[in-house]
């Protein structure tokens, strides 16, 4: 059966309209509760998958390859350029240590979970879990980046997205519940909370420099994003691949170069694009690209979710254990534990939600910790992917 829409340009328009409809619906007051439970990014993935399953769009098209190839480095470059690295460093040693402890928990938890359940899952499961490690160290952009870096099959992404949503948001619910136990936890570990109050005062005026976006601003943002992305693609295609199975591919080099170039630009006047919505353009490119990945997914793979969910639960459990051990050793307050965890698992989108529940005025801290996790996620995710490949090869899954 031929799909209803097959022309590449028409497919692009369909996906763009679908994404626009999702975000329009997410802004309706009567649907606020639904989109708090199931974020818009979930629909940006699953609705295109449903469209393909219903025969509206094809499972394969040149436009999908184009969107991933170009929009991924564009989004990474713009998002990294707008990172305020100096502000992240001002969070203090304990905050960053807790975020890194959470990252370590994800990096080692994945291989442990795969070793326990891998024998009952398809042989290429490690590649799907590698993509999930990217999401759980910084968010959706890292999931896509790791997926493309190691060549995770699109058919694996259906159950991975389900696990990402169900397990991650269940853990988020637990963290929100624990907010009522802050005083007891902080007393138990002997935490010093003075740094939290000091940081709150410093970040109160963080959004004071924003101004309306003008046409010239958009032109410069697009020039920076696509120009830098093309340069990274050109260089990445000329660097050697490494590993068997391939861990460092040409796409990996492109991802690392775009991430590193963006971070370097964040210390230059180019970072001022955030005042006019630079990161928003980056997220738009990211979510638009995600629709192309969803359109290639095999929803029948969702039937394998129960076992994948078990993998996710064990993985998060390792993450939690390492976090609480680190909190005890560092005497870190529960606020840093919760925000540091969600900075990994949910990224800059979910971390400020958790932060604001613990301390209503400290949502910006969640944003900055989420950004810190996002920056580290590319490198940490690639390390986790390498460890997962070793486990899969050793056990011959």
Which tens digit of pLDDT belongs to each residue from 329-387?
988 889 889 988 988 887 766 676 677 777 765 655 666 677 777 778 888 988 999 99
Query: How does 22-37 read in b/e, with b if 16+ C-beta sit within 10 Å?
Result: beeebeeeeeeeebee
Q: Is the pLDDT of residue 12 over 70?
A: yes
Query: Among all chains, which residue has been given the structure tokens 């990474």?
Result: 76
Q: Report the mean per-residue pLDDT for the chain.
A: 83
Q: In angstroms, rounded to a whole number, what is the distance separating the alpha carbons of residues 289 and 175?
A: 30
Q: Tens digits of per-residue pLDDT, 83-130?
A: 777 766 666 778 888 889 999 999 999 999 999 998 888 888 899 999
Given a contact cutoff of 8 angstroms between Cβ atoms, the answer to whether 73 and 233 are in contact is yes
Kindly state whether residue 26 falls inside one of the protein's structural domains: no
How many CB atoms are located within 10 Å of the residue 373 CB? 33
Q: Residue 316: which residues within 8 A CB-CB, separation 6 or more? A: 109, 167, 168, 171, 345
Average pLDDT over residues 68-77: 88
pLDDT category at 204 given cuts 50, 70, 90 is low
pLDDT of residue 199: 59
The count of domains in the chain is 1
Kindly state whether residue 243 falls inside one of the protein's structural domains: yes
pLDDT of residue 202: 57
Average pLDDT over residues 135-158: 83
Kindly state whether residue 170 falls inside one of the protein's structural domains: yes
Q: Specify the range with the lowest mean pLDDT, choosing from 66-70, 119-123, 199-203, 209-213.
A: 199-203
Kindly state whether residue 30 falls inside one of the protein's structural domains: no
Given a contact cutoff of 8 angstroms between Cβ atoms, the answer to whether 62 and 273 are in contact is no
pLDDT of residue 62: 94
Average pLDDT over residues 168-174: 80
Q: In angstroms, rounded to a whole number, what is the distance separating the alpha carbons of residues 150 and 324?
A: 32
Encode the chain in three state secondary structure.
Answer: CCCCCCCHHHHHHHHHHHHHHHHHHHCCHHHHHHHHHCCHHHHHHHHHHHHHHCCCCCCCCHHHHHHHHHHHHHHHHHHHHCCCHHHHHCCCHHHHHHHHHHHHHHHHHHHHHHHHHHHHCCCCHHHHHHHHHHHCCCCHHHHHHHHHHHCCCHHHHHHHHHHHHHHHHHHHHHHHHHHHHHHHHHHHHCCCCHHHHHHHHHCCCCCCCCCCCCHHHHHHHHHHHHHHHHHHHHHHCCCCCECCCCCECHHHHHHHHHHHHHHHHCCCHHHHHHHHCHHHHHHHHHHHHHHHHHCCCCHHHHHHHHHHHHHHHHHHHHHHHHHHHHHHHHCCCHHHHHHHHHHHHCHHHHHHHHHHHHCHHHHHHHHHHHHHHHHHHHHHHHHHHHHHHHHHHHHCC
Q: Tens digits of per-residue pLDDT, 21-37?
A: 999 998 899 988 888 76
Q: In angstroms, rounded to a whole number, what is the distance separating the alpha carbons of residues 296 and 46?
A: 10
pTM: 0.70
Q: Is the pLDDT of residue 206 over 60?
A: no
Given a contact cutoff of 8 angstroms between Cβ atoms, the answer to whether 64 and 12 are in contact is no
Kindly state whether residue 238 falls inside one of the protein's structural domains: yes
Kindly state whether residue 8 falls inside one of the protein's structural domains: no
Between residues 305 and 226, the one the model is more confident about: 226
Q: Is the pLDDT of residue 317 over 90?
A: yes
pLDDT category at 6 given cuts 50, 70, 90 is very high
Q: Tens digits of per-residue pLDDT, 211-266?
A: 788 899 999 999 999 999 999 999 999 998 776 555 567 877 887 888 889 889 98
Kindly state whether residue 388 falls inside one of the protein's structural domains: yes
Q: Of the spans 163-172, 183-192, 248-257, 317-326, which averages the highest pLDDT? A: 317-326
Length of the chain: 397
Percent of the chain with pLDDT over 90: 30
pLDDT of residue 91: 64
pLDDT of residue 197: 65
pLDDT of residue 45: 78
Q: In angstroms, rounded to a whole number, what is the distance separating the alpha carbons of residues 160 and 206?
A: 35
Range of the domain at 98: 68-202+213-395
Kindly state whether residue 41 falls inside one of the protein's structural domains: no
Q: Of the spans 5-19, 71-85, 273-287, which averages the highest pLDDT? A: 5-19
Percent of the chain with pLDDT over 70: 85
Average pLDDT over residues 201-205: 55
pLDDT of residue 174: 83
């Amino acid at each position: 059966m031929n799909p209803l829409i097959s022309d590449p340009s028409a497919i692009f328009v369909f996906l763009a309209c679908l994404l626009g409809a999702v975000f329009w619906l997410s802004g309706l007051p009567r649907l606020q509760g639904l989109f708090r439970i199931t974020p818009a990014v979930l629909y940006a993935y699953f609705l295109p998958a449903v469209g393909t399953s219903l025969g509206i769009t094809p499972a394969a098209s040149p436009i999908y390859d184009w969107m991933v190839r170009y929009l991924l480095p564009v989004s990474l470059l713009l998002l990294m350029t707008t990172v305020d690295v100096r502000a992240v460093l001002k969070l203090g040693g304990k905050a960053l240590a807790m975020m890194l402890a959470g990252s370590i928990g994800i990096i080692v938890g994945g291989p442990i979970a795969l070793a326990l359940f891998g024998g009952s899952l398809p042989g290429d499961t490690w590649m799907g879990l590698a993509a999930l490690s990217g999401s759980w160290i910084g968010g959706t952009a890292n999931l896509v980046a790791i997926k493309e870096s190691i060549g995770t099959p699109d058919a694996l992404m259906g159950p991975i997205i389900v696990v990402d949503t169900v397990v991650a948001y269940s853990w988020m619910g637990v963290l929100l519940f624990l907010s009522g136990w802050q005083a007891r936890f902080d007393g138990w570990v002997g935490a010093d909370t003075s740094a939290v109050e000091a940081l709150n005062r410093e970040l109160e005026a963080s959004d004071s420099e924003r101004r309306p976006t003008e046409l010239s601003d958009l032109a410069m943002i697009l020039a920076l994003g696509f120009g830098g992305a093309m340069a990274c693609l050109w260089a990445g295609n000329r660097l050697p691949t490494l590993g068997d199975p391939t861990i460092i591919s040409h796409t990996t080099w492109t991802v690392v170069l775009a991430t590193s170039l963006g971070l370097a630009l964040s210390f230059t006047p180019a970072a001022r694009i955030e005042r006019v919505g630079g990161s928003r353009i980056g997220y738009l490119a990211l979510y638009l690209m995600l629709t192309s990945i969803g359109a290639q997914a095999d929803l029948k793979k969702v039937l394998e979710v129960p076992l994948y969910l078990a993998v996710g639960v064990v993985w998060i459990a390792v993450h939690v254990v390492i976090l609480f051990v680190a909190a005890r050793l560092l005497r870190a307050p529960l606020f840093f534990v919760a925000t540091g965890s969600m900075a990994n698992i949910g990224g800059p989108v979910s971390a400020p939600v958790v932060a604001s529940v613990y301390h209503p005025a400290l949502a910006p801290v969640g944003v900055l910790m989420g950004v810190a996790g996002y920056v580290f996620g590319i490198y940490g995710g690639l390390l986790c992917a390498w460890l997962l490949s070793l486990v899969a090869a050793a056990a011959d899954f």
